Chains A and B, each alone.
Chain A
Amino acid sequence: MLIKLTGGTVYDPASGIDGKKQDIYIKDGRIVNQPGPDVQIDKEYDLSGKVVMSGAIDMHTHIGGGKGNIARTLLPEDHRMDPVHRTDATRSGTGHAMPSTFVTGYRYAEMGYTAGFEPAVLAVNARQAHMEMADIPILDKGGYVMLGSDDYLLRMLTAKKDQKAINDYVAWTLQAAKGIGIKVVNPGGISAFKFNQRKLDLDEKNSHYGVSPREILQVLATAVKQLGITHPLHVHGCNLGVPGNMNTTLDTIQGIGGLPMHLTHIQFHSYGTEGDFKFSSGAAQIAEAVNRNKNITIDVGQVLFGQTVTASGDNMRQHANHKHASPNKWVCMDIECDAGCGVVPFKYKDQNFVNALQWAIGLETFLLVDDPWRIFLTTDHPNGAPFTSYPHLIRLLMDKSFRNDMLATIHPEAQKMTTLASIDREYSLQEIAIMTRAGAARLIGLQDRGGLSAGNWADITVYTDNADREKMFAKPDYVFKDGELVVRDGTVVHSKWGTTHIVKPDWDPSIEKDLQKYFDRFLTMKVGNFKISDDEFTDIGRGSLTAHPLKGEVA
C-alpha cells in the first residue's frame, strides 16, 4: 500500500523544513522517498492548504501506574461528568482529569499526538505502568524509571560505593523495569518522609542514610551520562511548590556541574518570596539560567484553570499540600522501601492569587526561554491541567492578544506580579513543532520518530491552518499512526496499538548475585519475579518493545 500526501505545507524541524510545500509518501508504515513516476499510488490525500507535522510526542504525562489508578478511583464524580460512548471504532470509557486508558489514547490521537511517556515508573510498580499503557490504544509509550529514594541506591551511597557499581545498578533497574530513561523525584525526600522528615533541601541529609539530594543528583546524572542513555536524568527537584524554591532550582542547575539534566514541571519550582503575599515569580531568573546552561532542558508543567487531580511520587510534598485538596480527599502512600505516591485533587482558580500567578509563571517561562529545542510543552498531566487543554495552551503561546485578554481576567494582584503583559513573543508553528515533535524525539532518544524525512515511521498529523490556534490544534484533519489513518476530522476512525520504547544499557552480571541476596533479605519478592520479561509485553497479542540505541551506538 503506497499512500501519497499531496501538497501540504510541511513543518519538519528534524530536517530543517519550515513551512515548505512538499509531498510525503508512505509505504509499509514508514515514510519513503518519492518512488518514481511509474509506481502506482494506492491512496492519495489532497493536503493543499493544510499544515503537516509529524505526530506529537508528550515527553512527560502521567498515563500509567498505580498513582493514576488511585486518582481514577478517588474521583468517580469527575468521570461521571464526562462519559465516553462506545463506537464502532472505539471502546467506551470516561474522561476529564484522569481519563480511562482507552479514552487517553483516543483523546491524545484526536489532538494529533502519537506518543506519550510516563515519567514516574516505580520499579516495583512498573508492571502496572506497562499494563495500563498496554491498554492505551494508538499511542506509542515508554517510561522513566524512578530512583533516588530506593533503599538500595541510598545504601550504596552511604557505603560510598564507586560510580561503576552505581551505574550497574541503574542499568539493571532500567532493564528490569523496561524504561527509556531515569527519573528522580524529590531526591532522597520520599525516603526521608518515611523517617518523618517533612522537608529536604538540596544539601540537607536524609536522617537515616546521611545522604543529600545534591549527592543523589550527582551520581544519577553521572550514571545516565556514562551509560550512554540519551534522555538526560529527568529531575523533579526538591521543595516542589514551596515559595522561594527558585533558589533551590538555581542551585540545582549550578550544582550539576554541566552534566545533562532535564528539570521537569519547572513552573512548580520557580517561586520567589516577594510581594505582599510572599509569593512571586522566579521565571525570569530560571529562564536566564536555562538559557545560559546548555546542558539543561526543561518542561514547564503549565497550570490551567479548572478541576484536576495531582498525582505524584513526591509523597513528602503531596502530604504537605493536602491542605489545599479540593475536593477535600487525598491519598498518600509509602511504597516498598522504593518510593511513594501522593494523590491530591486540585481546583486551580483564576481568582486565587497563587493559582493565577502559577499560570503566569508557566507562561513567562515558555516565553523567556530562547531555545525551543530545550523546552517542552507539558502541563505535567494531570497535575497542572489535563492533557486535553494543550490546544488552549498552544493558543496562549502563539497569540499575544488572546494571552493578554486572558491575563486581564485573573486575580488583579497576580496581574501586578507578572511581566507577562510586556512580553511580545509569539511562538511560530515551527517552534511548536520543535517543542512537541522533533525536540521531544531528540530528547528521549527516539530513533525514526518525530520527523518526516524518509525512513521515519509515518506518524503524521495534518491540520487546517486557522488563526484560532486552539481550534486548529484541537481538531486535526488527519492523523496517521505507523502509516494507518487513525483520526479523521478530529475523531478516531480506526484504532491500533503502538509500541513501547526502551533502552538497554549493559551492566556487570555479577551484581545480580548481590541483588538476589538483598531481595531475599529485605524485600517481598524474589529478584527473578521482580524483573519484567519481554513476553509480558507480547503475550497479550498487541504489545511490542522497541529498543533504541545508546549514545555512540549505531543502530
Chain B
Amino acid sequence: MIEVTEVPSPFCGIGTDDLTIRVDGVSLKVVENGCPVNTPAFEQAITDTSPRVDGKDVSLDAAVAKAAALLKGTNQPVIGGCATDVNGMRALLALADRCGAVVDNMNFNATRRNLLALQDSGWMTTTLAEVKNRCDLFLVVGADPESFAPRFFERYLWNQESMFLEDTGNREVIYLGKAPSGNASTSPKGQKAQVFECGMEDLPELVAVLRALVKGQPIRAESVGGIAVADLQGIADKLKAAGYSVVTWAASALSYDQAELTVQTLSEMIKDINDLNTRCSGLPLGGKEGDQTANQVCGWTTGYPARTRFSKGFPEYDPYLNDIEVMTANGEADALVWVQAFNVNAVPPATDLPTIVIGRSGMTFAKEPDVFIPVGTPGIDHAGHAYRMDNVVAIRLKKCRDSGLPSTSDVLNAIEQAL
C-alpha cells in the first residue's frame, strides 16, 4: 500500500492538485481533499482488462487488427467522445487524418455556445489565480459553480490569504438566474450570496438589460423576468464600482436556442465595463474530462476546434454539420469510433453502425460494440496532460498505479499503424 500526494485531477476542471490517494494494488482511495466529483472518478474500479471483439475476450493485437479492418473499407468514419489526454488526442487526430474521419468532442454543443461568441466578437477572460487573488465581485450568471466543481469556492474565493485583498471574506457574490444548489458560496463569515432568480428562458432578456444598464441606457420596463430593473441597476452599479469583478457562466447550463447570444452579450458587457475606467473579466466554467484538451490539441493540430472533418484530406470545421450524433442518426457515417478514457457513464450514442469503443475500464453497454478496448485513465493509470477550465494551465497528470491497461494513445497509434 502506498500513498500518492499532490495528485492533480483531470475530472473537476478546476485543476485541484492536492489530492492524496492511497493505492492498494489497483484499487484507489482518495484519503485527502476529495470531493463528490473527484472521489468517485478516482475510485472507479477496474472491471475489464481484456479487449473484446463481438463480446469475446481477445488479445490487444487482435482487437486492434479488427478495429483497423472495420475502418479500412469505410467512406465516412466518425470519431466521437474525444475525452482523453493530450497524447490521446494527438493519436486520435493522427488516426482521423489517416482515415478521413470526422472528429467531434462529445460536449461540443455546449462549448459551441462559447465558441460562436468568441469567433464572432471575442472576449476578455481571466484565470483561476487572478480570481483567487484579485476578484472583489463575483457574478454568477445562470450557473451553479459548486455542482460543477464542489471545491470551487473553497479554493478560489474563500482562500485564507490572497495577494491583493485584505480579507477574502469581504468579496461579494451575486447569482443571476439560478440559485445556488448549496452553501458553498456563503462566505466563511456567514455572508450569503445575493440571489436574483429567474427562469432560464428569461436569461437572454435579463442579460441584455443588464448590459444596457451598464452602458447607461434608459430602461422603461420596471421588471424583467420577474426581477426588478432597480435590482439589475444595483448589479450594474456594483460591476462599475468594483476593482476587479469576474463574471462567470457555464455554457452547458445555457441549454436554450441561440444561447451563444447570451454569451456574446455578457462578453460585450465585460468589454464595456473595461472602458468605464475599471477592470472586469469573464470566467467561462466548463472543460472537464478532456473537453478543453480536445479543443486545444485539435486547435493547434488543425487550426480549428474539435468538431472538424478530414474527409477531403484536409481539416474543415463546421460547428453544426460535423455533429456526429446528427451524422450517425442521418446515415451520413459508416463507422463510429468512441474515445472516452475518463467517464464510464459516457457511452457512445445508440447506433447500428460498426462501433469501436476505446473506453475507460468499467464501461458497460446496452449493446455490445464490435470492438471494445478498455484503456487506462490519464492521471490514474498513466501520466499525461490535461487542460484546466481556464485553458492556460495544462496540468501534468500522474501515474498512480500499475494496471497494465494501455493508454488511449497506445491503442489509437496501433490502430493507425495497422491501417
Query: Which residues of A are in contact with B by a Cβ distance under 8 Å?
Result: 66, 68-69, 72-76, 79-80, 83-86, 91-94, 98-102, 122, 124-125, 127-128, 131-132, 135, 151, 193-196, 208, 319, 325, 328-338, 343, 521-526, 528-529, 532-533, 535-536, 539-540
CB-CB under 8 A from B87, the residues of chain A are 539-540
A127 adjacent to B301 (CB under 8 Å): no
Contacts known (A92-B313, A131-B86); A524 close to B125, Cβ less than 8 A: no
B300 adjacent to A135 (CB under 8 Å): yes
Residue from B86, B155, B164, B303 within 8 A of A524 (CB atoms): B155
21 contacts between A and B (CB under 8 A): A69-B296, A72-B303, A73-B304, A74-B118, A76-B303, A91-B301, A131-B394, A196-B279, A319-B274, A329-B122, A330-B122, A334-B127, A334-B130, A336-B127, A337-B134, A522-B132, A522-B161, A524-B128, A524-B129, A524-B155, A536-B385
Total number of residue pairs linking A and B with CB closer than 8 Å = 193
The segment out of B58-66, B71-79, B210-218, B314-322 that lies at the interface is B314-322
* B121 at interface, CB cutoff 8 A: yes
CB-CB under 8 A from A528, the residues of chain B are 6
CB-CB under 8 A from B125, the residues of chain A are 331-334
* B344 at interface, CB cutoff 8 A: no
Binary CB contact string for chain B from 1 to 23 against chain A (1 if under 8 A, 0 otherwise): 00000101000000101100000
A92 adjacent to B396 (CB under 8 Å): no
A525 adjacent to B314 (CB under 8 Å): no
CB-CB under 8 A from A529, the residues of chain B are 6, 8, 17, 395-396
The contact size tier of chain B is: 35 or more
CB-CB under 8 A from B6, the residues of chain A are 526, 528-529
Closest 4 CB pairs of A and B: A94-B303, A79-B303, A83-B314, A329-B122
A194 adjacent to B134 (CB under 8 Å): yes
CB nearest to B393 among chain A residues: A124
A329 adjacent to B314 (CB under 8 Å): no
Closest CB of chain B to A18's CB: distance in Å?
40
CB-CB under 8 A from B128, the residues of chain A are 336, 524
**Which residues of chain B from 388 to 414 have any CB-CB distance to chain A below 8 Å in the complex?**
391-396
* B244 at interface, CB cutoff 8 A: yes
Give complex CA distance A53, B264 in Å.
51
Query: Which residues of B are in contact with A by a Cβ distance under 8 Å?
Result: 6, 8, 15, 17-18, 86-87, 90, 94, 97, 115, 118-130, 132-134, 155-156, 160-164, 243-244, 274, 277-279, 281, 295-296, 299-305, 310, 312-317, 383, 385, 391-396
A524 adjacent to B393 (CB under 8 Å): yes
Contacts known (A69-B299, A101-B301); A124 close to B118, Cβ less than 8 A: no
CB-CB under 8 A from B277, the residues of chain A are 196
15 extra interface residue pairs, beta carbon distance < 8 Å, beyond A73-B115, A93-B303, A337-B129: A69-B299, A73-B304, A79-B304, A83-B312, A86-B313, A100-B302, A100-B315, A122-B392, A128-B296, A194-B134, A329-B122, A334-B281, A336-B130, A522-B161, A523-B129
Residue from B120, B133, B303, B316 within 8 A of A329 (CB atoms): B120
Closest CB of chain A to B247's CB: distance in Å?
13
CB-CB under 8 A from A131, the residues of chain B are 86, 385, 394
B18 adjacent to A526 (CB under 8 Å): yes
A73 adjacent to B299 (CB under 8 Å): yes
Contacts known (A76-B119, A79-B303, A135-B300); A522 close to B313, Cβ less than 8 A: no
Task: Give the interface centre of B121, B274, B303 by most chain A CB atoms within 10 Å.
Answer: B303
Residue from A132, A135, A522, A533 within 8 A of B162 (CB atoms): A522
B396 adjacent to A94 (CB under 8 Å): no
Give complex CA distance A548, B360 in Å.
42
CB nearest to A336 among chain B residues: B129
CB-CB under 8 A from B312, the residues of chain A are 83
CB-CB under 8 A from A102, the residues of chain B are 301
CB-CB under 8 A from A68, the residues of chain B are 300
Contacts known (A100-B302, A338-B129, A533-B396); A329 close to B121, Cβ less than 8 A: yes
Closest CB of chain A to B297's CB: distance in Å?
8
A124 adjacent to B392 (CB under 8 Å): yes
Give complex CA distance A524, B132 in Å.
8
Closest CB of chain B to A126's CB: distance in Å?
9
B163 adjacent to A525 (CB under 8 Å): no
Residue from B133, B160, B274, B396 within 8 A of A337 (CB atoms): B133
B303 adjacent to A536 (CB under 8 Å): no
Closest CB of chain B to A296's CB: distance in Å?
32
Closest CB of chain B to A223's CB: distance in Å?
23
B385 adjacent to A127 (CB under 8 Å): yes
Residue from A91, A328, A329, A525 within 8 A of B119 (CB atoms): A329
CB nearest to A86 among chain B residues: B313
A86 adjacent to B118 (CB under 8 Å): no
Closest CB of chain B to A90's CB: distance in Å?
10
CB-CB under 8 A from B305, the residues of chain A are 73
A125 adjacent to B393 (CB under 8 Å): yes
A334 adjacent to B133 (CB under 8 Å): no
Residue from B94, B119, B124 within 8 A of A332 (CB atoms): B124
